[in-house]
Amino acid sequence: MGTVKLNDLLFRSSIEFPCSYIKGNQERRFYVSISVPDCADIVSELTKRGFRRNYNHMYIPSCKDCNSCISSRINIKQFIFSKSNKRNLKINNDLSLVVNKDYNEKRFNLFKYYCRVRHTNGGMKSMTENEFIGFFHKSTNETKIFDLIDKDEKLYGSILLDILNDGYSAVYSFFNPDLNKRGLGKNLILKTIENMKHNQGNYLYIGYWVKESENMNYKSSFNNIEYFKEGNWSPSI
């Protein structure tokens, strides 16, 4: 793989808009288009520098009066399944994680239902089927989709992953919101970690950890998390 020349990329700053994580705050992003062939090295390098992918661009928060968004990743080789992790896996031992990149309508229907229940004020609940296909299935970067299914192939959840030079980055996941006791969101992450331990990859990048956001609290329940602060990855914030 060649050396990535980030200086050749055109980075831009967005206008301010309502924050996705902290109510009442304004968010601004520093972003760059990745709508170019062979962007895998660019995605990998920017992810290691705290960026996230959204459609065909990479971004990092660049807010005036807030630095609460902290990129996080799980060190796969050092990750140890805790008692609560093992309970979650036992509760969901009837479900399997399978690779399935093909589009199917039941995945879109579950996504729409998840957004209606869990993100009532979010913009994604109005996403059309074609927009979902573009988001989940048509990326310039190489991706992998895992579906969480039972023996009858009933769909319980899905996770979209960017394939990186050093592991995976979790772009988006959704699940059946009616089954709270199963902890399906956490199970998607745990089963992905199991898969990586048996196959390959050093890190699972799980997006921004935001202390003030209840929706992000689940990330701190995983051990051997590293946080990107002041240009470096560290096991402490």
Please tell me the pTM assigned to this model: 0.93
Domains of the chain by residue range: 1-237
Long-range contacts at 77-83 (CB < 8 A, ≥ 24 apart): 77/202, 78/224, 79/193, 79/197, 79/222, 79/223, 79/224, 80/223, 80/224, 81/190, 82/223
pLDDT in tens, 151-172: 999 999 999 999 999 999 999 9
Residue 122: band (very low, low, confident or very high) from pLDDT cuts 50, 70, 90: low
Which DSSP category does 39 fall into?
-
pLDDT in tens, 211-220: 888 878 788 8
pLDDT in tens, 173-207: 999 999 999 999 999 999 999 999 998 789 999 99
Q: Name the class of domain 1-237.
A: alpha beta
- Return the SS3 of 70: strand
CB atoms within 10 A of CB 50: 21
**Phi, psi angle pair for 124, to nearest 5°:** -70, -20
Q: Which amino acid is at 28?
A: R
